[in-house]
């Protein structure tokens, strides 16, 4: 009698997408493994809703001659190590106890989150001796070996990287350093990214400069399971008269310089993600054009009459105070409500200081890869990093570590190296306003308008209404204040 050969796996996004959305395309990891190896049985653990779980079960039974068991579990957080471990072990015990003796168990580590991958590796080396396989489009089904001595080094790396389907050691992307850390706020952010990545509703990412907004947008796309492209657009870098062409495309001859037909970002991001960075910099005219696209998922290229549908997910990011801009008339409230469905607020580095040693060590490791002899941070140097204000957040921390490494002539980076490498922001507002170079491109009116908008936003926020703002800002009458608002709003 042939001993049972059993495949055990969590149900992942790629499995669902390949089986239910594009069934004629390349099969997902589970179906491919069942097709390429002579498995007699399969246990699939699903934390998805019952409708998608049942639909996948039906598809799996049609694709494989193996005896398939799909078991549902309640899993609110797919990166919760304790919960994933408990659920996996419980379902395995229940399933294996009913198998005939001599069954050979194989764990698929290609489906699900990195947490699930890590748990399979732990179980295979401890209470459930099993083989491990990795399934990829390029290499097919491949046997993997993870000796137990590697587990102690392997698991901490997975925890740092957050919610990504596979690991760097398996040649897949990982979370950027901006999302590394074990502070409560960054762990909650990673959990929130994992929670909302799979829905198709718009996302608004809020955060200061350097907190990792573009990194989060990229992760949302990679975790979404959407098959289309990730298309980033920097709204602040596009001239106002070209933003419509950039987003929606144009026909040849639609305007001076339109020498060819051009697909806009919305069409390029069909079935994928359109990331609008510096979203708060869009002009009111551009916001009007964007509103219909958000409402109808359709657009009309410049110079054409036919409306085009695009199934793209909007992810928008800004460091601006959009409610305050709405109060001053600089931003449309209807556009704001269209994008503010899923909201992610990225923490400033000063609000997650406990992550600074981990981040600094990571950045120093990157520097050391390019040096013949590794540098080290002395304790006082790390203390200086932890005490800094970091107005530029993670990006500034990285650049400071690099500058300190360049300054260091020996092998030890000292507190003096760090202090000499920190940017000086003590008189920042005066430097910004009074120390600018008078070169081509300088516009005094633009600078003064920017200052006025800033204080009008603050006045409306702190004064609660127009009357309170006029009083706080020293206007002699509300009408004068209203005239300023109108002038700045329409420019």
What CATH code is carried by the domain that includes residue 107?
Answer: 3.40.50.10770
| CA–centroid distance for 167 within its chain | 16
Same domain, 264 and 354: no
Same domain, 400 and 461: no
Same domain, 326 and 239: yes
Q: Residue 142: CB partners within 8 Å, gap ≥ 6? A: 133, 134, 135, 136
Same domain, 188 and 327: yes
CATH number of the domain residue 374 falls in: 1.10.8.60
pLDDT for position 458: 82
Q: Residue 438: CB partners within 8 Å, gap ≥ 6? A: none
pLDDT for position 423: 83
pLDDT for position 297: 85
Rounded to 5 degrees, φ, ψ at 415 are: -60, -35
Q: How far is CA 83 from CA 89, 122, 159, 160, 166, in A?
A: 10, 14, 14, 18, 19
Blockwise average pLDDT, block size 10, the chain, 491 residues: 85 85 74 91 92 88 89 88 87 80 86 88 76 87 68 43 33 52 86 85 94 91 86 86 80 66 85 93 88 86 80 94 90 94 93 90 88 88 90 92 92 93 61 57 72 82 82 84 72 42
pLDDT for position 260: 75
Angle between helices 114-124 and 148-161 (to 10 degrees): 170
The total of structural domains in the chain comes to 4
The pTM (predicted TM-score) of the whole model is 0.55
Q: Which of 303, 319, 345 is the last residue of a domain?
A: 345
- CA torsion 105-110-114-117 (nearest 10°) is 10
CATH number of the domain residue 196 falls in: 3.40.50.300
The verdict on residue 412 lying in a domain is yes
Helical (H) or strand (E) element with 6: strand 5-10
How far, in Å, CA of 175 to CA of 178, rounded? 8
How far, in Å, CA of 360 to CA of 422, rounded? 14
Angle between helices 478-490 and 444-463 (to 10 degrees): 130
Rounded to 5 degrees, φ, ψ at 157 are: -65, -40
pLDDT for position 153: 45
Q: Which of 421, 453, 481 is the last residue of a domain?
A: 421
The verdict on residue 474 lying in a domain is yes
pLDDT for position 196: 87
Q: Closest by alpha carbon to 185, among 5, 387, 348, 62?
A: 348
Same domain, 209 and 249: yes
SS (HEC) of 449-477? HHHHHHHHHHHHHHHCCHHHHHHHCCCCC
**Parent domain of 461:** 443-490
Q: Which of 345, 380, 412 is the last residue of a domain?
A: 345
The verdict on residue 406 lying in a domain is yes
The verdict on residue 434 lying in a domain is no
């Amino acid at each position: 009698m042939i001993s049972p050969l059993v495949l055990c796996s969590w149900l992942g996004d790629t499995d669902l997408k390949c089986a239910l959305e594009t069934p004629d395309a390349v099969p997902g990891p589970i179906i491919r493994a069942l097709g390429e190896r002579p498995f007699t049985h399969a246990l699939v653990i699903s934390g998805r809703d019952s409708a998608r779980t049942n639909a996948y079960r039906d598809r799996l039974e049609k694709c494989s001659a193996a005896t398939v068991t799909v078991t549902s579990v309640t899993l609110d957080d797919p990166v919760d190590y304790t919960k994933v471990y408990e659920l996996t072990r419980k379902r395995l015990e229940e399933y294996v106890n009913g198998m005939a003796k001599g069954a050979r168990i194989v764990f698929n580590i290609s489906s699900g989150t990195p947490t699930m991958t890590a748990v399979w590796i732990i179980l295979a080396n401890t209470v459930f001796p099993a083989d491990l396989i990795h399934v990829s489009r390029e290499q097919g089904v491949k046997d993997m070996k993870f000796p137990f001595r590697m587990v102690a080094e392997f698991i901490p790396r997975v925890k740092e990287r957050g919610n990504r389907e596979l690991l760097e050691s398996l040649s897949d992307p990982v979370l950027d350093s901006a999302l590394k850390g074990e502070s409560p706020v960054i762990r909650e952010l990673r959990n929130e990214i994992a929670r909302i990545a799979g829905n198709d509703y718009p996302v608004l990412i809020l955060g200061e400069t350097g907190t990792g907004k573009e990194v989060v947008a990229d992760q949302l796309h990679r975790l979404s399971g959407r098959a289309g492209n990730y298309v980033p657009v920097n709204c602040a870098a596009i001239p106002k008269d070209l933003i419509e062409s950039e987003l929606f495309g144009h026909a040849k001859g639609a305007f001076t310089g339109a020498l060819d037909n051009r697909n806009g970002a919305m069409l390029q991001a069909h079935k994928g993600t359109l990331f609008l960075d510096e979203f708060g910099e869009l002009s009111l005219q551009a916001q009007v054009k964007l509103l219909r696209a958000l409402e109808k998922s359709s657009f009309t290229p410049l110079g054409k009459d036919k409306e085009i549908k695009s199934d793209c997910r909007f992810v928008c990011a800004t460091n601006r105070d959009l409610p305050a801009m709405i109060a001053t008339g600089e931003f449309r409230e209807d556009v704001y409500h269209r994008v503010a469905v899923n909201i992610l607020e990225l923490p400033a580095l000063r609000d997650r200081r406990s992550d600074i040693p981990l981040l600094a060590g990571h950045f120093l490791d990157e520097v050391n890869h390019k040096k013949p002899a590794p540098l080290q941070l002395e304790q006082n140097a790390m203390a200086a990093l932890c005490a800094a204000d970091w107005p530029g957040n993670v990006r500034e921390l990285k650049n400071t570590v690099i500058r300190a490494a360049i300054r260091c002539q020996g092998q030890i980076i000292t507190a003096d190296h760090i202090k000499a490498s920190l940017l000086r922001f003590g008189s920042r507002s005066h430097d910004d306003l009074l120390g600018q170079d008078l070169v081509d491109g300088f516009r005094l009116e633009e600078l003064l308008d920017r200052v006025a908008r800033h204080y009008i936003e603050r006045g409306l926020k702190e004064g609660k209404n127009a009357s309170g703002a006029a009083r706080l800002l020293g206007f002699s009458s509300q009408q004068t204040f209203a005239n300023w608002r109108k002038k700045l709003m329409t420019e």
